[in-house]
Amino acid sequence: MLQLVRPRPGTDTPHFSPDQVAAAAAFMARGLLRHYRLYQHVFSTEQAHTEYTAELMVETPVVPTFEAALSQGDWDALHDQRRAEAEAARVAAEEAEAARQEAEAKEAEEEARRLEEEARRAELARKPATLEEAIEHLVATRLENEKDPLAAAYKAKEAELLAKITSLEEAAAAKKPVSAVGAKK
Split at pLDDT 50, 70, 90, the class of 178 is: low
**Shared domain check, 122 and 134:** no
Split at pLDDT 50, 70, 90, the class of 185 is: very low
Q: Is residue 103 part of a domain?
A: yes
For residues 1 and 23, give the distance between their C-alpha atoms in angstroms, rounded to a whole number: 12
The answer to whether 1 and 16 are in contact (CB under 8 A) is: yes
What is the tens place of the pLDDT at every residue in 56-66? 988 888 777 77
For residues 112 and 119, give the distance between their C-alpha atoms in angstroms, rounded to a whole number: 10
Q: 39 or 165: which carries more pLDDT confidence? A: 165
Q: Is residue 111 part of a domain?
A: yes
Give me the pLDDT at residue 85, please.
97
**Shared domain check, 140 and 122:** no
Q: Is residue 94 part of a domain?
A: yes
> Per-residue b/e over 4-20, b at no fewer than 16 CB within 10 Å?
eeeeeeeeeeeebeeee
Q: How far is CA 137 from CA 15, 21, 92, 115, in A?
A: 120, 123, 51, 19
DSSP annotation of 81: H
Q: Is residue 53 part of a domain?
A: no
For residue 6, the surrounding DSSP H or E stretch is none
Show Cβ contacts of residue 24 under 8 Å, excluding neighbours closer than 6 positions: 1
Q: Is residue 178 part of a domain?
A: no
Mean pLDDT (whole number) for 7-16: 81
Is the pTM higher than 0.75? The answer reads no
Q: Which domain holds residue 25?
A: 2-36
**Shared domain check, 11 and 26:** yes
Q: Is residue 46 part of a domain?
A: no
Q: Is residue 54 part of a domain?
A: no
Q: Is residue 176 part of a domain?
A: no
Angle, in degrees to the nearest 10, between helices 36-44 and 18-34: 60
The HSE-up count of residue 25 (CA atoms within 13 Å, CB side) is: 10
How many domains does the chain contain in total? 3
Task: Give which of 31, 6, 27 is closest to 17, Cα–Cα.
Answer: 6
Q: How far is CA 174 from CA 48, 169, 183, in A?
A: 110, 9, 17
**Shared domain check, 95 and 134:** no
The answer to whether 100 and 92 are in contact (CB under 8 A) is: no
**Shared domain check, 147 and 118:** no
